[in-house]
Amino acid sequence: MNNHGNLKKLVLKNRSYREFDGSLPISYENLHGYIESVRFTPSTVNLQPLKYYIAVRPEELKLIRENIKFAGLLPGYNGPDKEHNPTGYIIIFTDKDIAPKPEGFDKDVGIAAQTILLEAVEEGFGGCMIGSFNEAEIRRYFNFPENLSIRLIIALGKPLTEIVLEDTGSDGSTAYYRDKNSVHHVPKRPLSEILLNK
């Protein structure tokens, strides 16, 4: 894979980052810009039931951080330490008043989330999709209206860590891991395994 175009480079750079530089916070304006773009992403029957909330205030960051789970596959890892926490979050909802069965629109959510992350990476930021969160606690704190179902949270900031992409090994494991230098490795299935055409 030589001569990557710009988008391909962004796709490769867009890893799930979980440690951030607390001294270089992502701003409300940065995140607002990403929501301006997701307005134009595809939507099932163009229903556009997704809604968004931008969190950057310290007390909001703390509450969300306490109610999400990072990298469940890493033994003994409880997410970034205090100085390296995400500096912003985008919560993605599906409005049940528009789409009574929100699960049917999780493809829309995925498209929106990836678009947000690619734009963040292009601006020198990055983040991680978070599907593992305590919805009840987050709802209680923010008092979001009942019709808004939280589908995904995106943690964002200025990434600190380097992440290594590699092909899955002979054991076929897709489990990400950290080596003895704490470098994060992400095994991806090789093209020959995922593309049916021979």
Q: Applying CB under 6 A, which of residues 10, 47, 98, 129 lies at the interface with ligand FMN?
A: 129
Site string for ligand FMN, 8-27 (x = CB under 6 A): -------xx-x---------
CA distances to 77, 106, 116, 117, 166 from 155, rounded to whole Å, are: 17, 18, 11, 9, 24
Exposed, middle or buried, 192 (CB in 10 Å: 0-12/13-18/19+)?
Answer: exposed
- Asked if residue 186 binds ligand FMN (CB under 6 A), the reply is yes
- Asked if residue 69 binds ligand FMN (CB under 6 A), the reply is yes
Site for ligand FMN in 40-59 (CB under 6 A): none
Tell how many helices (H) and how many strands (E) occur in the chain: 6, 7
- Asked if residue 124 binds ligand FMN (CB under 6 A), the reply is no
- Asked if residue 130 binds ligand FMN (CB under 6 A), the reply is yes
On whether the CB atoms of residues 173 and 192 are closer than 8 A, the answer is no
Footprint on this chain of ligand FMN (rule: CB under 6 A) = 15-16, 18, 69-71, 128-132, 163, 176, 186
